[in-house]
Structure 1
Amino acid sequence: MESYIRQQYEQRPKKWLLQLVTVLIVIMLLVWSGSMLELNGVKQNGIQVAKNILKGILHPDTKLLFNFTKAGVAYLLFETICIAFLGTIVGAILAIPFSFLSAFNIVPAPIALIGRFIIMAVRTIPAFVYGLMFIRVTGPGPFAGLLTISVCSIGMLSKMYIETLEDLDMRILESLDAAGLNTFQKIRYGILPQLIPNFLSIALYRFDMNLRDAAVLGLVAAGGIGAPLIFAMNSYRWNEVGAILTGLILLVLIIEVISTKIRVKLTRG
């Protein structure tokens, strides 16, 4: 048996030439990519600035971190959570009709193609562009961030909802139809039990992403903790930057642990 295995191993296809060519191509791409980098913009005191950034992050401003007024990190993080949470709810609700109108097993193919094209168009535009657009409409503030998070969530949630819809077990609906159930009863007992756990799990996953996006959207004055962060960085107040980042990291870790437990419970029933 061992001799047979050894013989088969020795007779395996020799791919060393293909592997060598692949390695050479990767090296050439790395060299070509590196040639496009310009280091002329690096200042001589850049190392000192990097040291100050690291020092400020490792020694955060505790007064700002434990300040519970509207200017403190706690309030700004709470505002960021509200923007992400409400934006996720609105986006999750609006994504449901888009997903039903884009699933090939629910609607005719032409309608599904139109729905998918709309979803693709929504997903193409970056969140920053949506943020700048809504700021022009509603003015700067958390409401613009809420609208931005909602629209950005529609694209991804609709795409994942469609996959869930197309994986529906249609045999359950056929058995319920054979049992004489009406349309409402088939939706209640055949479709919703299959969709709700997956939809909630997908929405929780998107909430994790929206929490980070809401923090970044503050850079364009769309509310949240991003605006104070960029102001502190522009003023070289690295201790405040460290306090804001510390609070943001702790918030993301807590939300990640909680959402992971909820998703596991939803998945396992």
Structure 2
Amino acid sequence: MTPPDAHSTAPRTWKKPPFIANPVLRSGLILVAVVYLVWAFGSLPFNWARISEGLPRAARIFSGGFPPNLERYELLLTGFKESFQIAILATLLGVFLSIPFAVMAARNIAPMPIYIIGRAVIIISRSFHPVIVAILFVAAVGFGPLAGILTLTLYSIGFVGKLLAEEIEEIDWGQVEAMKAAGAGYIAILFYAVFPQILPRQVGLSMYQLDSNLRASAVVGIVGAGGIGGTLMNAFGRYDYDFAFAILLIIIAVILLSEGVSGWVRKKIW
């Protein structure tokens, strides 16, 4: 074996190839993107006079919010209690209902007609923002936590069902073949060969969805679907900016704590 030539011109560092190899096409796409941004900003009806007039009002709102007022902590506790109840119930219902839809939407274990139905349900569940769905449920069942629970349950089905279906499609098929060779039926294969393989992923997704639903419960409450969001909107409606800012600070603190706990649990599981 001969040593490499000291005068070799071979590169010693690796350079990542561009995403689009053709330089003409790459430059053309960049130019199109720049032209589109200029056109979009130029065609949108920005009212710069109104924006400049709104800056002093925004400054008054921020100045009126400090220091935050925690005197009415009973309203805070009631609102957060309702938000936690909405998030927990919606997560439990959503994760439970997402399992059969995930099985239906997994191409490797579901026949094509069932697969199409399962995918359609998941796609519809993920098609609309929770606020839009909350408005529909508020109109259907009235103001209150029931609309929030239904909204976030549908939201959970779309998110968890999609990822669980993808996880099922990536399982070790050898365990399924072994169960089939032993004469096991479809239900037995699901419970003893499929579900055990996706259980860690399912627990991690459940924790993530609980964290997400806790954040979303504050948002859907703004349109009347229960939770701390309704308390926040009432505070802004009464011009109680100091109380509203107290609510915002508590929401940030609770979400940070929830995200930390959720991340720790997911790290332990995965």
> Fold conserved (TM > 0.5)?
yes
Q: CA deviation at 1:251?
A: 0.5
Name the CA shift for 1:139/1:6 in 2 (closer, same or farther; >3 Å). Answer: closer
Which residue does the alignment assign to 1:157?
A: 160
Amino acid at match of 1:60: P
- Structure 2: give runs of 5+ residues left out of the alignment: 1-5
Give structure 1 stretches of 5+ with no counterpart: none
Segment of structure 1 superposing worse, 182-191 or 203-212: 182-191
User: Is the Cα contact below 8 Å between 1:80 and 1:215 reproduced in 2?
Assistant: yes
1:206-261 Cα shifts (integer Å, max 9, x gaps): 22221121111111111001112122223332211210100100100110011111
Q: CA deviation at 1:44?
A: 5.1
Q: CA deviation at 1:90?
A: 0.4
Count of paired positions: 259
Indicate which of 36, 40, 44 corresponds to 1:29.
Answer: 36
Match of 1:63 in 2: 71
SS at match of 2:9: helix
Q: What letter is aligned with 2:10?
A: I
Contact conserved, 2:168 with 2:194, CA < 8 A, in 1?
A: no
Query: Retained in 1: the 8 A contact 2:104–2:110?
Result: yes
Measured on the aligned residues, the alpha-carbon RMSD in Å equals: 2.9
Report sequence identity in percent. Answer: 31
Cα distance 1:32–1:177, how it changes in 2: closer, same or farther (>3 A)? Answer: same
SS, match of residue 225 in structure 2: coil
Change (3 A) 1:74 1:177: same
Change in 2 beyond 3 A, CA 1:194/1:56: farther
Larger deviation, residues 111-120 vs 213-222: 111-120
- Does 1:96 pair with 2:99? yes
2:3 corresponds to: none
State the Cα deviation string for residues 27-73 of structure 1 (Å, max 9, x = none): 32221122124124625542222222333455211323xx1x2x2x1
Q: 1:38 aligns with which of 41, 46, 57?
A: 46
Alignment map for 1:254-265 (pairs within 5 Å): 254-265=257-268
Matches within 5 A, 1:1-269: 4-5=9-10, 20-35=27-42, 36-40=44-48, 42=50, 45-64=53-72, 67=73, 69=74, 71=75, 73-178=76-181, 180=182, 182-183=184-185, 186-267=189-270
Verify the 8 A CA contact 1:56 1:241 in the aligned structure 2.
no
Q: Deviations over 1:119-141 (max 9, x none)?
A: 21232233233222322333211
